[in-house]
Amino acid sequence: MATVDGASGATVHEAMGGGPGVRRLAHAWHERVLADAVVAHAFSHGYRDDHTERLAAYWAEALGGPDDYSRGLGDESSVVRAHSGNGEHPEMNERAVACFDLALIDAGLDGEPLRTVLHDYFTWATTTSMYRFHVSADDVPAGLAVPHWSWDGLQPGAWTEPAVTRPCARRLRASGGARRTS
């Protein structure tokens, strides 16, 4: 169940243009990280031929789209395990986020407030969800569900730690302002 933008009723996934928009972003990000001297190290031992398609399915589900990833490709535990046990690497995380921000432009998804919502999601996922088991992939519990992100940030119940809300969304609610998707 996805939370929708109050002004338009669109989920983040819908505001991205659905599957085609998410696939454009996944492709653009993948190209950017492979070209980055620091982040490319994460792919130096190889990756699946369908990495971009799987990434797009995962992001789509996390951002309010269909649950294709969980229904047929894996769960959050499998994704987190693939990103765990690599030690601390804050510079790689920062560079991955920078690549994501550039990929938003490449994919034509850089209008506000969509850009900020997607940046906040990716930053959270990179520095929290995918990073909290940096010591060992064996520490990742089984059965984690893909966390869901909306215009208001991480959705309650979608994570095993306290939910976070985007500061921008809190300010908008407090002022009675409307959120827009374009």
pLDDT tens per residue across span 3-18: 444 457 799 999 999 9
In this structure, which topology does domain 12-175 adopt according to CATH?
A: Globin-like (1.10.490)
Q: How far apart, in whole angstroms, are the C-alpha atoms of residue 170 and residue 178? A: 11
182 residues of the chain, pLDDT tens digit each:
344 444 577 999 999 999 999 999 999 999 999 999 988 887 777 777 888 999 999 899 999 999 998 899 888 777 767 655 565 668 888 999 999 999 999 999 999 999 999 999 999 888 877 667 666 777 778 888 888 999 999 888 765 543 333 444 433 344 344 433 33
- Domain assignments of the chain as residue spans, ordered by start: 12-175
Q: How far apart, in whole angstroms, are the C-alpha atoms of residue 16 and residue 134? A: 31
Kindly list the distances between the CA atom of residue 71 and the CA atoms of 3, 59, 61, 82, 146, in Å, as whole numbers in the listed order: 20, 14, 10, 18, 11
User: How crowded is the C-beta side of 54, counted as CA atoms within 13 Å?
Assistant: 14
Phi, psi of 153 (to 5 degrees): 100, -155
pLDDT (0 to 100) of residue 43: 74
pLDDT (0 to 100) of residue 161: 46
pLDDT (0 to 100) of residue 166: 41
pLDDT (0 to 100) of residue 24: 98
Strands (E), the chain: 149-150, 153-154
pLDDT tens per residue across span 110-126: 999 999 999 999 998 88
